[in-house]
Amino acid sequence: MSANVPTDIVFSFTGLAERGGVTGPHIDGWGITFYEGKGSRTFKDARPSSESHIAKLIKSYPIKSEVVVSHIRQANRGCVSLENTHPFTRELWGQYWTYAHNGQLSGYEAKFVPTRFNAVGDTDSEMAFCWIMDKVVAQFGDKAPDDMLAVYRFIATLADEIRALGVFNMILSDGEHLMSYCSNNLCYITRCAPFGKAKLIDTDVVIDFDTETTPNDVVTVIATRPLTKNEQWNVLAPGEWKLFKKGELLIG
């Protein structure tokens, strides 16, 4: 999620969490990162989101945030464990960078040789993230460049390379920008006035955004598959990527 005002994600997360054991097979852990200003906090659990005690808290306790990254995992590379649970976070240039990956890669070991950023777990996902971060430092150095869009354009070329190794649907944020890169499954919706009602696909919940928002709110939600059944989601093509800031599309 990317929004221009601190917004809670309770509605969307309630739908997503069902896919971790009820309406979907992603039972191998889940996580969610909330940015609040420059700070961030990540809740994660190696248990299925549909039955996690901590997920229950997230579904019932609205945390208002301008950028949220969440992931539910179906393990392929790497065992079910906390260190293999997305999202992953690293600090670079005085910002926390948060990343989640959907998909599976092959033949990546020779490519993802770490220099500065090392994977803690043993997933292809985290290794790809660390490789991206290493490449960004190699390209731009130890200080953030003035043109952050150039950084994301560069990351898109890295994502193209990774996509050649398999399926690489990715979400990446520095807390200000939110990048989504599509390999085969990614879609988004931008909600703004006039707001209407939305109905989750995965559980019987309806929200009337008109009563939850102000007329100036702009909120974009990105997901591998649409979360609501009565709204039109924009589907990304393979290799397509989008960059959002404060809910608005910056590149894409």
Where along the sequence are the contacts to its own copies (CB under 8 A)?
36-46, 53-54, 57, 61, 81-85, 90-96, 114-121, 142
Q: In this structure, what are the phi and psi dihedrals at residue 133, rounded to the nearest 5 degrees?
A: -65, -40
- What 3-state DSSP class applies to 69? strand
Does the N-terminal peptide bond of residue 238 adopt cis geometry, omega within 30 degrees of 0? no
The smaller minimum CB distance to its own copies, of residues 106 and 118, is found at: 118
What is the spatial distance between Cα 65 and Cα 94, in angstroms, rounded to a whole number? 19
What is the spatial distance between Cα 141 and Cα 134, in angstroms, rounded to a whole number? 10
Distance of CA 121 to the CA centre of its chain: 19
- Nearest distance from C-beta of residue 134 to its own copies, angstroms: 11
The smaller minimum CB distance to its own copies, of residues 79 and 164, is found at: 79
Tell me the two tokens of residue 162: 């990774």
- Nearest distance from C-beta of residue 77 to its own copies, angstroms: 15
- Nearest distance from C-beta of residue 170 to its own copies, angstroms: 19
Residues 6 or more apart whose CB falls under 8 angstroms from that of 51 comprise 21
The smaller minimum CB distance to its own copies, of residues 115 and 230, is found at: 115
- Nearest distance from C-beta of residue 57 to its own copies, angstroms: 5
DSSP state of 194: S
The smaller minimum CB distance to its own copies, of residues 122 and 208, is found at: 122
The smaller minimum CB distance to its own copies, of residues 86 and 191, is found at: 86
Q: Pairing mode, if any, of strands 39-45 and 2-7?
A: unpaired
- Nearest distance from C-beta of residue 39 to its own copies, angstroms: 3
